[in-house]
């Protein structure tokens, strides 16, 4: 059995009287695609925000690569190798495509207090920029303002930026949201390719995508982990069906 890259135990988080997560647990194996699903309002985004460090949990623990990171700042988690993309595409709209990518490349370096040399001709950017843009197929579009890209291209750029840090764990928050059928196929291909390089935690509504891509699925209901298992087991699980039907 492969070791667990991410081990989450009993996370709880409340906002005032609203309980967003209670007893959320998760184990993600190295090299797997792990999907996190659940009906609307199940607390998936809050869970993801706690893993990326934007929200500090009230209780529980997060172990990454054998290290406790429960209260670590988000940007330090990135340095350990946890990267995320957002539900709403968040490329920097008024920067050019290459500037977006350059920013994600220099993010790896602790010292970016370089005030004189143009950011695009900085050595680390020169080395990695072209390859990074080619990976997501945006090399020809590099001079364009990111705000002028199509929705699918923005998503590709965003995933490319997330990858630039060479993360050990890639968390994708609804990568298919707002994409047409063509975009969904492209993105599925991209995720399959990424699977060779890194471990993926996927939050997604599109069940077809989830069941075709995921090695393991964890179901979240009312902020709590209901069950985890391989797709076939989840498909057959009565409680999961009840949770989804009850929600509709």
Partner 1 sequence: MLDNTGKKIAVSAGTICLVLLPAVATLFGHDYFISLFTRILIYALAAVSLDLLLGFGGLVSLGHAAFFGVGGYVVGMLFYHASEAQPLLGVIPGSENALIVLPSAVLVSALFAVVIGSLSLRTKGMHFIMITLAFAQMIFYFFVGLEKYGGDDGLSLYARNKMALLDLSDDIQFYYFCLFFLIIFVFFAYRLVQSRFGLVIRGISLNERRVRALGIGSYHYKLVCFVIAGAGAGLAGALLVNQTEYVSPGMMHWTISGELMVMVLIGGLGTLFGPIVGSAIFILLEDVLGMYTEHWMVYMGPLLILIVLFAPQGLFGLLSGKRGRDD
Helices (H), 53-96: 74-80
When binding is defined by CB under 8 A, the residue of 115, 181, 182, 196 that contacts partner 1 is 115
Interaction of residue 119 with partner 1, rule CB under 8 A: yes
Kindly state the smallest distance separating residue 169's Cβ from partner 1, in Å: 13
Interaction of residue 244 with partner 1, rule CB under 8 A: no
When binding is defined by CB under 8 A, the residue of 40, 66, 116, 181 that contacts partner 1 is 116
The 82-85 sheet, strands edge to edge = 82-85, 169-173, 199-203, 33-37, 216-221, 224-229
Kindly state the smallest distance separating residue 108's Cβ from partner 1, in Å: 7
Kindly state the smallest distance separating residue 227's Cβ from partner 1, in Å: 29
Helix or strand run (H / E) with residue 187 = helix 181-195
Name the token pair of 34.
């792990």
Interaction of residue 90 with partner 1, rule CB under 8 A: yes
Kindly state the smallest distance separating residue 158's Cβ from partner 1, in Å: 9
Q: Which stretch binds partner 1 (CB under 8 A): 28-36, 83-91, 209-217, 228-236?
A: 83-91
When binding is defined by CB under 8 A, the residue of 27, 65, 70, 74 that contacts partner 1 is 74
Q: Which stretch binds partner 1 (CB under 8 A): 29-37, 94-102, 129-137, 185-193?
A: 94-102
Half-sphere exposure of 86 (CA within 13 A, CB side): 9
Find the distance separating the first CA and the last CA of the chain, reported in whole Å: 37
Interaction of residue 92 with partner 1, rule CB under 8 A: yes
Interaction of residue 95 with partner 1, rule CB under 8 A: yes
Closest to 46 in 3D by CA, of 243, 235, 148, 54 = 54
In this structure, the number of other CB atoms found within 10 A of the CB of residue 27 comes to: 16
In this structure, the number of other CB atoms found within 10 A of the CB of residue 177 comes to: 15
- Answer for the pair 220, 24: CB distance below 8 angstroms, yes or no: yes
Kindly state the smallest distance separating residue 122's Cβ from partner 1, in Å: 5
- Answer for the pair 173, 45: CB distance below 8 angstroms, yes or no: yes
Interaction of residue 99 with partner 1, rule CB under 8 A: yes
Interaction of residue 113 with partner 1, rule CB under 8 A: yes
Integer Cα distance of 3 and 67 in angstroms: 13
Integer Cα distance of 51 and 64 in angstroms: 10
Interaction of residue 40 with partner 1, rule CB under 8 A: no
Residues of this chain that interact with partner 1 (CB under 8 A) are 52, 54, 73-76, 78-79, 83-84, 86, 90, 92-95, 99, 102-104, 106-108, 112-119, 122, 145, 147, 161, 165
């Amino acid at each position: 059995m492969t070791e667990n890259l991410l081990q989450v135990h009993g996370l709880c988080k409340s906002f005032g009287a609203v309980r967003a997560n209670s007893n959320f647990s998760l184990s993600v194996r190295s090299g797997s695609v792990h999907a996190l699903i659940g009906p609307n309002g199940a607390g998936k985004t809050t869970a993801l925000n706690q893993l990326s460090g934007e929200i500090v949990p009230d209780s529980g623990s997060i172990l990454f690569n054998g290290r406790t990171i429960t209260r670590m700042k988000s940007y330090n988690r990135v340095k350990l190798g946890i990267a995320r993309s957002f539900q709403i595409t968040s490329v920097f709209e008024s920067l050019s495509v290459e500037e977006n990518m350059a920013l994600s490349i220099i993010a790896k370096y602790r010292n970016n207090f370089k005030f004189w040399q143009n950011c695009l001709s900085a050595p680390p950017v020169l080395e990695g920029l072209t390859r990074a843009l080619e990976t997501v197929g945006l090399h020809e579009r590099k001079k364009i303002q990111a705000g002028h890209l199509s929705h699918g291209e923005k998503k590709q750029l965003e995933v490319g930026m997330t990858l630039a840090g060479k993360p050990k764990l890639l968390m994708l928050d609804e990568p298919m949201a707002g994409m047409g059928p063509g975009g969904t196929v492209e993105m599925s291909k991209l995720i399959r390719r990424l699977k060779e390089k890194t471990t993926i935690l996927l939050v997604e509504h599109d069940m077809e995508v989830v069941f075709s891509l995921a090695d393991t699925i964890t179901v979240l209901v009312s902020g709590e982990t209901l069950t985890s298992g391989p797709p076939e087991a989840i498909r057959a699980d009565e409680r999961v069906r009840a949770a989804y039907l009850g929600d509709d």
